[in-house]
């Protein structure tokens, strides 16, 4: 998924509007930011995921963040999300992503949570909230 030419950065968008899609996509592409996450707590997140995927074409990979349950997950996948981020350990979200071969990045804080994420098959685990450390 990540090549040596990719910047290891994920742009995280919250509260954007449909009118923001084209200019933001152009900025991300210009600056080689390939991975963009739209949070599911953004109004019309599904539509925005679809629009960003369309605007970014092959130059961007759009994912969904703040995925809190399988309803969010189903909406994100239907919209075209290619990776999933959650703020915490949500076993059913991880398991469904693993079964559908969708990269999933759950948030975890304690060693037990981190270990549980790995055991469930998480692609990567984000330390969250990292600001505590």
* Residue of 22, 96, 113, 126 with catalytic role: 126
54 catalytic? Reply is no
Catalytic residue among 34, 37, 51, 54: 37
Structure tokens at 78: 């239907």
- 67: CB partners within 8 A, 6+ apart: 40, 73, 76, 84, 85, 86, 90, 93
- Give the closest residue to 55 by CA, choosing from 28, 27, 78, 25: 25
Task: Write the CB contacts of 72 (distance below 8 Å, at least 6 apart in sequence).
Answer: 40, 64, 66, 93
pTM here is 0.91
Answer yes or no: 19 catalytic. Answer: no
Q: What pLDDT digit, counting tens, does each position of 112-126 carry?
A: 999 999 999 999 999
Q: pLDDT tens digits for 4-25?
A: 566 678 889 998 999 999 999 9
């Amino acid at each position: 998924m990540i090549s040596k030419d990719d910047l290891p950065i994920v742009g995280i968008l919250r509260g954007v509007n449909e009118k923001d899609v084209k200019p933001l996509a152009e900025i991300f592409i210009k600056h080689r930011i390939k991975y963009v996450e739209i949070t599911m707590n953004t109004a019309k997140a599904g539509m925005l995921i679809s629009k960003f995927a369309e605007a970014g074409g092959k130059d961007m990979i759009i994912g969904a963040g703040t995925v809190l349950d399988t309803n969010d997950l189903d909406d994100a996948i239907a919209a075209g999300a290619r990776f999933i981020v959650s703020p915490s350990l949500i076993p059913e979200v991880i398991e469904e992503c693993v079964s559908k071969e969708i990269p999933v990045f759950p948030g975890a804080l304690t060693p037990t949570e981190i270990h549980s994420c790995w055991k469930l098959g998480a692609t990567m685990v984000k330390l969250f909230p990292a600001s505590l450390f």
